[in-house]
Amino acid sequence: MKAFQRICLVAALTTAAACGGSSNENGGGGGGGGGTREWTVMVYMAADNSLAVQGILDLDEMEDAGISDKVQVVAQAEFSPSVLDQQQCTAACFNRPNFNTFRYAITQAGGSAKNGPDRGTVSEIAGGSNVDMTNPNTLKDFISWAKTNYPANHYLLVLWNHGGGYTGLIQDETSGGSGLMSLDELKAGLTGAGPIDVLDFDMCLMAGYETLAKIVGLADFAVFSEEVVPGQGNPYNTIINGIQANPTQDARTLSGMIVDRFNASYQGSKASTTLSAYDLSAFAGFETSLNDLATTLQAGLPGLGTTIGQAAGVSQKYTYPQLTDMVNFLDSLNVRVAGQAALQTKIAALRTAVTSASFRINNAVHNGNGQTQQGQVDDVSRSNGLHIVLPSGSGQDVLPQSGSSSLASYQALMPGKPWTSFLAAYAGGQTTTAMTDQGDNRFEAYLVWDSDAIAAGADVDFWVLEPDGNIYLPAFGSVTPNGTMSNDSYNDQVNFEGYLTNRFVAKGDYLIFANLWTDPANFQPAYDLAYRYDQNANFSLFFQGNGQPNPVLSLQTSWLNDPTPTLGEILGGAYSDLQYVGTQTFAVPPAPFARQGPTASTAALRAGGRSLTPAQIATLRRLVTIDRLGGGAPPRRLAGLWQMPFSARGGQ
Amino acid sequence: MRTAITAVLAGILACHPANGGTVPAPQKVSVHDVLTRPSLVGKAVEVTGRCLGYSVPTVAKGSPPVTRSDWQLEDQGEAVWVTGSMPDGCTGTTPAEAPSTITALVAQDTMPGLGGQKPVARQYLVRR
């Protein structure tokens, strides 16, 4: 047996934290404008995803706007290698030597001669790398860089990319995987970044109560869309021209101007569009009215539930059907509760608050002329500027039982809010999973193994069998019903992988397994389980902490060679490449959350009834077998180590 | 290697034939048909494939044709962009585990050329 090497969890964590580090290198020539420059437009262009081409074209639009000593446009951008490869394009297609993240200040007049940056100063970050644009620290660093080098009296921050409303925003394929930055992470990225006069979401679906709740106090005005936005997004040339033409305009005027110019640019087009602008100084008053209504609605449940569902069902909906236009819902509900004076008073108060000119600055909707398969237009005409999560309960218009759009995720995102409480009471009946609240201190566990195993080509996988009876592992997805996986260790060339559970998790047993996927040099890695219940605390090692030797994985007795593997056999240690590690149990009601560590006792597990079905075994066998046969192709995300510091992710 | 497996898996899953009815319209076609037959433009079709979400993995060519939330429908290693709602079990960032059958309208646009390339026509699907 190979001696257990020093497990480099600490080193790995240190490296991971360092990867999200700051960079305040000089951007080249733009500094010193404070007092004379009125606006700096900061575009955070996360185009390392399906939107790479649109990003390049939008950079060209910014260049086409020309320059002004009163208005400076800067961007931090990166583009997807795989998407551009589909167009037989290299980085040369956007006038760069590589796919590293770059910062760009437009300083030269004239329209774009080439696709990509060719009208100003370009610099790479931290000496040249592809950074994780979903990392809050990356966003914060960009803002700091822009303000340091291009100070102005006012700042417009444009977040450019995918948006999914309350499910998150911004995707970075190469460095951040498929997942989105959460709204809490956005809040973290803006916190401490200094004043943002206008925050413009050039992305889909972000015009929601939840967005405002996260950015209040961090930005003065918000511009965003209730519905999905066309691929072209903002008309940057006309918007920047609008700022250049009146550089002393205040943030309120500018916010309204963006809405008008966006709307004007899509007149006559196929796409239906929505865009609105809000003054966050009036958010508190609005939220007070919303809280009052939520409390009243919840008090009326369950009797009022059907009426609420009907009102939501006939209201303006969006590509994510659970998103419901707030004003349209209030109007629909109001006519259904005639005679309930107290409730109607709350409805009226909220309607007044959400449409007040002191709160809603501008709202523009446009029905495109594009045809659907039913021969209709995509009708967004009943959009009033702000949506809220409210499923009707019919068809697809429900909260999924798992994932980032689930009720549990909403509860984790918006804890303590009366609307959250109402939503749980109203929509909770649509889900049957018993949940428990871990609070801010969540169970987090990672398999860690010999660091030398990386060089030896050995690959270890973290498996977790959740209470729903399904097995999840980072190699096959980033999100489980109850947690978020780390990146796949093989892709990132690190010696750990695991997951952080959600604040709200399904009650039951979570069984953790270690799987050796490949071991070409017969390295036989030893491993341990690092876990904790407090995201600010140090990890504990399960085996070493209990004075036990570290188990060793090998391919000697593979579960893949057993035509009928069972959970009992895995638990009993029948296989050398698939080993049971331990169990975390979230207690059945009414017991409180029990902070027991993973236990090595398997007898209770067998008696507990948790089992793998033959179909699940077959699926896993197929997935893993295909994976093993797929050798040879290089991992696509070679770009780097995991850049999400555990503490940052865990603290959200 | 691990990311490549997703595409391999997508191809295998997409091989499962959908349970088809006998309704003559919309026309049943494959993803490959949509991509290669401009004559389908303007027609309602029924297509089976696996929803891949936005871009992980990237299989469809070019950029999303209509909105930033367009998604890929994949079958046999090819994918077509779809604008409109996603099938159950699929989000922009989480591919579906199983194929689904959708009805949609075939449309056409022109992919912009980059770096001096020529623009190219392509078909996509509209599902609303």
The nearest CA of chain B is from the CA of A386 a distance in Å of 19
Closest CA to A270 of B34, B83, B80: B83
| A338-347, A350-359, A393-402: segment of lowest average pLDDT | A393-402
Rounded CA-CA distance A29/A51 in Å is 30
The DSSP symbol for B86 reads P
Cβ of B55 and A50 within 8 Å?
A: yes
- Rounded mean pLDDT, A342-362: 98
B16 contacts in A (CB within 8 Å)?
Answer: none
The nearest CA of chain A is from the CA of B79 a distance in Å of 12
Query: Are the CB atoms for A352 and A414 separated by under 8 Å?
Result: no
Mark which residues 64-103 of B lie under 8 Å from A by CB. 64-70, 84-85, 88, 91-94, 103
CA atoms within 13 A on the CB side of A121: 17
Q: In which band, very low, low, confident or very high, does the pLDDT at B26 lie, cut at 50, 70 and 90?
A: confident
Q: In which band, very low, low, confident or very high, does the pLDDT at B22 lie, cut at 50, 70 and 90?
A: very low
Find the CB nearest B5 among A396, A403, A627: A627
Token pair in block for residue A194? 């200094």
B4 contacts in A (CB within 8 Å)?
Answer: 630, 633, 636
Q: Does residue A643 register a pLDDT over 50?
A: no
The nearest CA of chain B is from the CA of A647 a distance in Å of 23
pLDDT for the residue A625 = 53
Residues above pLDDT 90, as percent of chain A = 56
* Alpha helices by DSSP H, chain B: 2-14, 31-36
Q: Which residue of A has its CA nearest to B42?
A: A373
Token pair in block for residue A62? 């910014």
| Three-class SS state of B43 | coil
- Rounded mean pLDDT, B69-79: 94
Closest CA to A38 of A73, A65, A63: A73
**Higher per-residue confidence, A125 vs A333:** A333
Q: Does residue A570 register a pLDDT over 50?
A: yes
> Average pLDDT of chain B?
78
- A403–B contact, CB cutoff 8 A: yes
Q: Does residue A437 register a pLDDT over 90?
A: no
Token pair in block for residue A490? 């093989």
Q: Which domains does chain B have, with CATH numbers?
A: 24-126 (2.40.50)
Q: Does residue A90 register a pLDDT over 90?
A: yes
> Average pLDDT of chain A?
82
Query: Are the CB atoms for A410 and A389 separated by under 8 Å?
Result: yes
pLDDT for the residue B115 = 78
Q: Does residue A395 register a pLDDT over 60?
A: yes
| A483-487, A633-637, B120-124: segment of lowest average pLDDT | A633-637
pTM value is 0.67
| Three-class SS state of A326 | helix
Beta bridge partners of residue A155, listed in sequence order: A40
Cβ of B68 and A82 within 8 Å?
A: no
Token pair in block for residue A88? 């037989």
The nearest CA of chain B is from the CA of A573 a distance in Å of 27
| A213-227, A281-295, A446-460, A585-599: segment of lowest average pLDDT | A585-599
Cα–Cα distances (Å) from A555 to A185, A517, A520, in that order, read 40, 8, 10
Cβ of A490 and B112 within 8 Å?
A: no
Q: Which residue of B has its CA nearest to A181?
A: B93
Find the CB nearest A626 among B9, B55, B65: B9
Rounded CA-CA distance A112/A23 in Å is 28
Beta bridge partners of residue A527, listed in sequence order: A449
- B31–A contact, CB cutoff 8 A: no
Q: Does residue A589 register a pLDDT over 60?
A: no
Query: Are the CB atoms for A531 and A597 separated by under 8 Å?
Result: yes
SS (H, E, C) A503-556: CEEECEEEEEEEEEEECCCCCCCEEEEEEECCCCCCCEEHHHHCCCCCCECCCC
**Higher per-residue confidence, A624 vs A559:** A559
Cβ of B55 and A490 within 8 Å?
A: no
* Alpha helices by DSSP H, A112-247: 136-149, 173-176, 183-190, 209-215, 236-245
- Rounded mean pLDDT, B52-73: 88
CA atoms within 13 A on the CB side of A347: 22
Find the CB nearest A87 among B53, B61, B69: B61
Rounded CA-CA distance A341/A160 in Å is 44
The DSSP symbol for A165 reads G
Picking from A85, A167, A373 by the largest number of B CB atoms within 10 A of its own CB, the best residue to mutate is A373
Q: Which residue of B has its CA nearest to A114?
A: B115
B8 contacts in A (CB within 8 Å)?
Answer: 626, 630
pLDDT for the residue A151 = 97
- A422–B contact, CB cutoff 8 A: no
pLDDT for the residue A407 = 93
SS (H, E, C) A15-82: HHHHHCCCCCCCCCCCCCCCCCCCEEEEEEEEECCCCHHHHHHHHHHHHHCCCECCEEEEEEEEECHH
**Which of A369-383, A395-409, A623-637, B7-21: highest mean pLDDT?**
A395-409
Q: What is the pLDDT of residues A465-498, one digit of tens each?
A: 877 666 778 876 666 667 778 888 887 888 899 9
Q: What is the pLDDT of residues A203-236, one digit of tens each?
A: 999 999 999 999 999 999 999 999 999 999 999 9
B60 contacts in A (CB within 8 Å)?
Answer: 86
Find the CB nearest B63 among A54, A114, A627: A54
SS (H, E, C) A625-650: HHHHHCCCCCCCCCCCCCCCCHHHHH
The count of CB pairs under 8 A between chains A and B is 177
Find the CB nearest A373 among B65, B69, B127: B127
The nearest CA of chain A is from the CA of B68 a distance in Å of 5
Mark which residues 179-208 of A lie under 8 Å from B by CB. 179-180, 203-205
The DSSP symbol for A317 reads B
CA dihedral A51, A52, A53, A56 (to 10 degrees): 120
Q: What is the pLDDT of residues A272-289, one digit of tens each?
A: 999 999 999 999 999 999
Cα–Cα distances (Å) from A532 to A5, A212, A495, A560, in that order, read 22, 32, 18, 32
Beta bridge partners of residue A192, listed in sequence order: none
Cβ neighbour number for residue B29 with a 10 Å cutoff:
17
Q: Does residue A26 register a pLDDT over 50?
A: no
Rounded CA-CA distance A244/A250 in Å is 13
- A282–B contact, CB cutoff 8 A: no
Q: Does residue A70 register a pLDDT over 60?
A: yes
| A22-26, A243-247, A504-508, B57-61: segment of lowest average pLDDT | A22-26
Q: Which residue of B has its CA nearest to A461?
A: B2
pLDDT for the residue A491 = 79
Rounded CA-CA distance A258/A499 in Å is 41
The C-alpha angle A481, A485, A486, rounded to 5 degrees, equals 170
- A368–B contact, CB cutoff 8 A: no
- For chain B, give the longest Cα–Cα distance: 47
| Three-class SS state of A444 | strand
Q: In which band, very low, low, confident or very high, does the pLDDT at A635 lie, cut at 50, 70 and 90?
A: very low
Q: Does residue A624 register a pLDDT over 90?
A: no
Q: What is the pLDDT of residues A126-171, one digit of tens each?
A: 778 999 999 999 999 999 999 999 999 999 999 999 999 999 999 9
CA dihedral A46, A51, A54, A56 (to 10 degrees): 50
Token pair in block for residue A148? 């340091």
Could you please report the per-residue DSSP string of A347-377? HHHHHHHHH-TTTEEEEEEE------TTS--
Q: Does residue B76 register a pLDDT over 80?
A: yes
H or E element in which residue A605 lies: helix A603-608
Cβ of A94 and B115 within 8 Å?
A: yes
Picking from A48, A49, A50 by the largest number of B CB atoms within 10 A of its own CB, the best residue to mutate is A50
Mark which residues 552-611 of A lie under 8 Å from B by CB. none
Rounded CA-CA distance A191/A212 in Å is 14
Q: What is the pLDDT of residues A330-345, one digit of tens each?
A: 999 999 999 999 999 9
- A491–B contact, CB cutoff 8 A: yes
Query: Are the CB atoms for B85 and B127 separated by under 8 Å?
Result: yes
Find the CB nearest B128 among A82, A94, A372: A372
Query: Are the CB atoms for A44 and A76 separated by under 8 Å?
Result: yes
Cβ of A50 and B54 within 8 Å?
A: yes
pLDDT for the residue B116 = 79
Picking from A48, A51, A57, A178 by the largest number of B CB atoms within 10 A of its own CB, the best residue to mutate is A178
**Higher per-residue confidence, A371 vs A649:** A371
Cα–Cα distances (Å) from A216 to A25, A221, A242, A441, B49, in that order, read 30, 9, 26, 25, 42
Query: Are the CB atoms for A570 and A578 separated by under 8 Å?
Result: yes
Query: Are the CB atoms for A271 and B70 separated by under 8 Å?
Result: no
The nearest CA of chain B is from the CA of A498 a distance in Å of 16
Query: Are the CB atoms for A370 and A377 separated by under 8 Å?
Result: yes
The nearest CA of chain A is from the CA of B22 a distance in Å of 19
- Residues 6 or more apart whose CB falls under 8 angstroms from that of A451 comprise A5, A6, A7, A8, A11, A12, A495
pLDDT for the residue A602 = 36
Q: In which band, very low, low, confident or very high, does the pLDDT at B88 lie, cut at 50, 70 and 90?
A: confident
Cβ of A403 and B94 within 8 Å?
A: yes
Rounded CA-CA distance A64/A241 in Å is 9
The nearest CA of chain A is from the CA of B61 a distance in Å of 5
ipTM > 0.85 for the complex: no
Rounded CA-CA distance A170/A164 in Å is 9
- A40–B contact, CB cutoff 8 A: no
Q: Does residue A23 register a pLDDT over 50?
A: no
Cβ of B3 and A376 within 8 Å?
A: no
Mark which residues 108-127 of B lie under 8 Å from A by CB. 111-112, 114-115, 117, 126-127
